[in-house]
Amino acid sequence: MKALILKQDFSREFWTEERCYIIESANASNDALSIARIRVTPGVTTQWHALDATDERYIIAEGRGRIEVGDLAAQDVGPGDVILIPAGVRQRIANIGETDLIFYCVCTPPFQPSVYRKSE
């Protein structure tokens, strides 16, 4: 890896059928991970899904959410909380606040659309 500063380009944000907005902050073939900024609007719950062969970490930046991961009991989360999601484990997150829920998703190996699996 070489030193590099990646500026966030908010114009690249896109809507997904998962019911959230995503910006890929870093996803290069020469790195061991990918980072995406996720935005969930108030009252919305993302669809149940899992990533095959890819571990995820959610890092909550802003807002309030309720996360459901595998067999764990649903838990409320907020800024600074980190959620670890092993490969193949289904998950979803709800925005339970009055402002956007924003978190970063760090994937190892880097995210590829082919690993995404709906589980609703």
Q: How far is CA 68 from the centre of its chain?
A: 13
**Does residue 97 form part of some domain?**
yes
1 vs 60: CA distance, rounded Å: 26
- Choose among 76, 87, 79: nearest CA to 63: 79
**Does residue 85 form part of some domain?**
yes
Helices and strands: H and E segment counts in the chain: 0, 11
Structural domain span for residue 40:
14-118
**Does residue 45 form part of some domain?**
yes
Residue 120 has pLDDT above 80, yes or no: no
**Does residue 89 form part of some domain?**
yes
8 vs 82: CA distance, rounded Å: 21
* CATH number, domain containing residue 101: 2.60.120.10
Confidence of residue 3 (pLDDT cuts 50, 70, 90): confident
**Does residue 88 form part of some domain?**
yes
Q: What is the pLDDT, as a whole number, of residue 114? A: 95
**Does residue 43 form part of some domain?**
yes
Residue 28 has pLDDT above 80, yes or no: no
Q: How far is CA 77 from CA 19, 93, 101, in A?
A: 19, 10, 10
| Stated pTM of the model | 0.93
94 vs 18: CA distance, rounded Å: 12
Mean pLDDT of 62-89: 98
Domain count, the chain: 1
pLDDT, averaged across the chain: 95
**Does residue 7 form part of some domain?**
no
Confidence of residue 24 (pLDDT cuts 50, 70, 90): very high
Confidence of residue 90 (pLDDT cuts 50, 70, 90): very high
